């Protein structure tokens, strides 16, 4: 399974942007980059995913390096509800079901 590396923890202030980095130097051409987050006492929830181009949705933006060996999840204006563990996961581009391989993720703390 392709591996990702994330900082164990990060801290930010409310209403400020947050940039969560992820390194995936062994990524292959068929791997998608997925981000999930897990709020306290809840199951993980999907945030965003991408392949090569930067992606935006209502929750966040995903910036992917040109060589695809790293990516950054961007929360444009953090709120207290964004405090969670954020997981960066690689998924092979295949048809059909595929397990997710979770690392330790980044625990994001938001200060009021």
Partner 1 sequence: GAGVSQSPSNKVTEKGKDVELRCDPISGHTALYWYRQSLGQGLEFLIYFQGNSAPDKSGLPSDRFSAERTGGSVSTLTIQRTQQEDSAVYLCASSSPADTQYFGPGTRLTVL
Binding site for partner 1 (CB under 8 A): 34, 42-46, 49, 87, 94-105
Return all residues near 15 (Cβ < 8 A) that are at least 6 apart: 77, 78, 79
CA–CA separation, 1 and 41 (whole Å): 27
Q: Which CB sits closer to partner 1, 65 or 100?
A: 100
Q: Cβ of residue 51: shortest distance to partner 1, in angstroms?
A: 13
The answer to whether the beta carbons of residues 80 and 109 sit under 8 Å apart is no
Nearest to 51 by CA among 92, 22, 19, 20: 92
Q: Cβ of residue 45: shortest distance to partner 1, in angstroms?
A: 7
Q: Cβ of residue 23: shortest distance to partner 1, in angstroms?
A: 17
Q: Which CB sits closer to partner 1, 40 or 112?
A: 40
Q: Cβ of residue 86: shortest distance to partner 1, in angstroms?
A: 12
**Residue-level length of the chain:** 112
Q: Which CB sits closer to partner 1, 43 or 112?
A: 43
Beta bridge pairs of residue 19:
74
Q: Which CB sits closer to partner 1, 42 or 53?
A: 42
């Amino acid at each position: 399974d392709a591996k990702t590396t994330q900082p164990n923890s990060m801290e930010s202030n409310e209403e400020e942007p947050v940039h969560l980095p992820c390194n995936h130097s062994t990524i292959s051409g068929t791997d998608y980059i997925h981000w999930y987050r897990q709020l306290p006492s809840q199951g993980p929830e999907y945030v965003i995913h991408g392949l090569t181009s930067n992606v935006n949705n209502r929750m966040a933006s995903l910036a992917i390096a040109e060589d695809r060996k790293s990516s950054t999840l961007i929360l444009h204006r953090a709120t207290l509800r964004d405090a969670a563990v954020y997981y960066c996961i690689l998924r092979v581009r295949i048809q059909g079901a595929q397990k997710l391989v979770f690392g330790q993720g980044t625990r994001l703390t938001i200060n009021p």
